[in-house]
Amino acid sequence: MKITLVCNDVAYPAIHGGRVDMWRRIKAFSQFGIELQVVCWVNQTPEAQDILQIKKYVQHLCLIVYQRNVFSAIQQTYQLLKYPLEVTSRIVSVQLKSLVSEVDSFHPDLIWLDGIQGGAIALELSDKLDVPLIYRSHNIEYLYSERLFISATGMSKIKRFFSKMHMEKYERNILKKSALFYDISLEDLKFWQSQGFINGRYLPPLVDYSHSNNINVNSINEKSIEYDIVFCGNLYSNNNVAGIAWFLTDILPIVLNKLPATKVLIAGANPVEKVKKLCQRAGVHLKINPTSAVEIYNSGRIFINPTLTGSGVSIKSIEMLAFNKPIVSTLQGIAGLPEVVSKYFNIAEDAESFADAIVCLLSSNSQKILNSSTLLESMFGIHSIKNILQEITDFIELKNYQRADNLCNCSKVPTINVSLKNNI
């Protein structure tokens, strides 16, 4: 099988949750023998070593560099009459013909839209090439964009306003025109089903649980632990910035009043100035664009997710589970997670209880942790990709059969060669 993935961002290096989600799925597709073409948007051409890493799993990489000129600005402004802001920046006009030709030469069996922002282009490719569109939903985007607008401050409020414009109509159109859509969250899937969409399925994020095998929390090398508290996530989205600000200004002072020697690490991609200033003011260590989340998590005693708003599933919360260490989170931080794993989080909804939970965990050896890679594998393992590939194969065979039957009244079912390798 051949799949053209239209990704809203370059997946590697996987320095934040959205990229992690896409990158692990790309690797899983490749492991099952799927030939991949990836279309994605970049601010500048990635480093040569990053491209080489991507091409270990991707047969054809098509990078679209964002246009920054007068013509593109005029075009984007015009497109705001119909599309949300992040969609308008990804609409190509002059390059569309060559992009369609490039994808057509790959002969994909389907277009896989990973993230809603590239949807306008994915729809064009699906229509012009007459191949089915499958959408991977990361959030209920129109609700998520509303929440980001509410949590935004200053000039970013204006940007978030344009981001939420037309989002509901646009998102519903994507779902309607998708042959199938795969939702990151069971809660989000139930929401869309209640809205009459019957073409949705559940596809959880994939977790790399290999580093958690045979780890006992009591035998962790103390030399690798540098910090008492660790947060790891993108440092630019409004909800993450608001959560970090809440932690540093309202929660951390309570913790330091009781445990003055507490060391904190805030790590993640592309921090905005507000995060930099807050970290400096609070005297905490800020690590920008870390190359390895594993090293970040291994360096901490406990993890936090102070996110107050959001949608879908917090990838960072799932990531934290794999390290067999205690976690303090808001209810929003565990939204969309199965109950069987959400019980391993220490939940706090106000600053005082959040701080108390941290102090208690740092002062006690009695800790609520998930110490089972088997459970993680059953919930977030690669088997889910094998299952959806079989479902997609059945769907394509049926569609091809119907097309052939309509065109020539022929009863022969076309064969699609799909190699499902088991050497995982």
Tell me what pLDDT residue 179 has: 94
Q: Which helix (H) or strand (E) holds 305?
A: strand 300-305
Q: Which helix (H) or strand (E) holds 391?
A: helix 383-408
How many Å apart are CA 63 and CA 42, to the nearest integer? 7
* pLDDT (tens place) for every residue of the chain, 424 residues total: 999 999 999 999 887 778 889 999 999 999 999 999 999 999 888 999 999 999 999 999 999 999 888 888 899 999 999 999 999 999 987 788 999 999 999 999 999 999 999 999 999 999 999 999 999 999 899 998 998 888 788 888 999 999 999 999 999 999 999 999 999 988 899 999 999 999 999 999 888 766 554 444 444 455 578 999 999 988 988 889 999 999 999 999 999 999 999 999 999 988 999 999 999 999 999 999 887 788 899 999 999 999 988 766 788 888 888 888 999 999 998 888 888 888 889 999 999 999 999 999 999 765 666 555 677 788 888 889 998 999 998 888 777 656 666 655 544 433 333 333 333 3
Tell me what pLDDT residue 373 has: 66
Amino acid at 190: K
404: left (phi over 0), alpha (psi -120 to 50) or beta: alpha
For the chain, give the number of residues. 424
* Count of Cβ atoms closer than 10 Å to residue 181 Cβ: 22
Fold annotation for 2-203: Rossmann fold (3.40.50)
Tell me what pLDDT residue 412 has: 44
Q: Which CATH architecture has domain 210-376?
A: 3-Layer(aba) Sandwich (3.40)
Contacts of 328 (CB under 8 A, 6+ apart): 302, 303, 304, 305, 345, 346, 347, 348, 354, 357, 358, 361
Domain ranges in the chain with CATH number 3.40.50.2000 = 2-203, 210-376
Tell me what pLDDT residue 416 has: 32
| Cβ atoms of residues 108 and 16 within 8 Å | no
Q: Which helix (H) or strand (E) holds 133?
A: strand 133-137
CA 324 vs. chain centroid, Å, equals: 22
Tell me what pLDDT residue 366 has: 57
Tell me what pLDDT residue 423 has: 31
Burial class (CB in 10 A: 0-12, 13-18, 19+), 128: middle
| Cβ atoms of residues 326 and 368 within 8 Å | yes
Q: Tell me the pTM.
A: 0.82
